[in-house]
Amino acid sequence: MKWVSADGAVAAVASLGGCPRVVVSGNHATPGAMVDALDAGMPQFRLWALNAQSGMPDRDGIELETCFVGPGMRKSRHLRYVPSRLSLVPVLFRERLRPDAVVVHVSRVVEGKVSLGAEVNVLPAAIEQCRAAGGLLIGQVNRFMPYTYGDGEYSVDDFDYLVEADQPLMDLPRPPIDDVSGAIGERVAQLVTDGATLQLGIGAVPDASLPGMAQRRQLKIWSEMVSDGVLTLREDGALDVDEPVVASFVFGSQQLYDWVDENPAVRLLRTETTNDPAHISTRPLMVSVNAALQVDLFGQANASRIGNRIYSGFGGQSDFVVGALHSPGGKALIAMRSWHPKANVSTIVPLVDEPVTSFQHSAVVTEHGVAPIWGCSQQEQALNLIDHAAHPDVRDELYEEAVALSLVSPISS
């Protein structure tokens, strides 16, 4: 291990030659100082990051790669999106997308170790494959990055180069909860029982479900990510204190980062563990709550694309839907608004035109009700979605489409 400047680390990456693939921490853990130095010091390279946030370099010479598109790459003409379930990204690193260098954003040094902090996720797999190929491991050491326990702890001697660059993490304020989000959240909370294990995403709907869930007891967390909502559950005594909070990354406010710092009650594990449907299925009463852009009358969800444009990707949705369905007493829920306010269209559609992200959920929850899916005939599924989840303004039209799709029989006069 050698302490160097950012420019010194970039020179080492450049010495690899060609157009190296550089995997960096994503989400709110992007090593900004090193990414900026790579942009300034290398004419061409591949930059791979999950859910890249705003501020990523975007120019000729940089090929942006990801399996989950964030706002920092979403509209780039340099984007190379590789579809993959998140649990399979480590396989891609081994078989198709082996990194030449991995640049991670790490905590302060604690007893000869650093932690990947807020972002463990697929990074251990990237590090292992990079090492196996003789590539470089570089850490941007930041005193603002929390030290988290689990699969993201590394000896400083594991690194080729360490670069000291302090920068506050992005602070994500909680989204406002409007009446529609509140109604959806209340319905989701009613489906959660004492002792359940939760997987919750980020946004107004998951946050809106927390007041109801806060009345439960002995809740457990096994999730791809955790945000500030976990603090609400902890403060209200809803969490099982004998079970650690398990996730693969954290995404939220400074208060959340302060809470996870050196907290033995939180374990950040690699994606192969958190997102493995076999592991998820062993959790008691697993409740997976995910969002979608559209759900059709066959119960298929599109959470990835808008028109011909990639919006995000599979992420962990398909992993957790399958895992929750195999959990004894588990539920896989799609929670979303019945009407898209910006596009001014129904989110319940006759048939999705885009690639399907997931299907065969337990239920679809909107502000208008809960539409059971699992265990229902296709006719029942369609009618449940129309009668209990769709916006009232489009129910007649959806019924006509269901008849045309031979999902239901026309009403006899």
Q: Which residues of 305-335 are buried (b: 16+ CB within 10 A; e: fewer)?
A: beeeebebbbbbbbbbbbbbbebeebbbbbb
d(CA 265, CA 68): 28
Q: How many helices (H) and strands (E) does the chain have?
A: 13, 29
Kindly give, in sequence order, each residue whose CB lies less than 8 Å from that of residue 400, ignoring residues fewer than 6 positions away: none
**Distance (Å, whole) CA 47 – CA 12:** 16
Q: Is the dihedral of CA 82, 87, 91, 97 positive or negative?
A: positive
Nearest to 35 by CA among 122, 121, 142, 118: 142
3-state SS class at 288: strand
Asked about 235 being catalytic, the answer comes back as no
**Alpha-carbon torsion (400, 401, 404, 410), positive or negative:** negative
Map residue 138 onto helix, strand or coil.
strand
> Of these residues, 65, 119, 153, 224, which one is catalytic?
224
Active site residues: 224
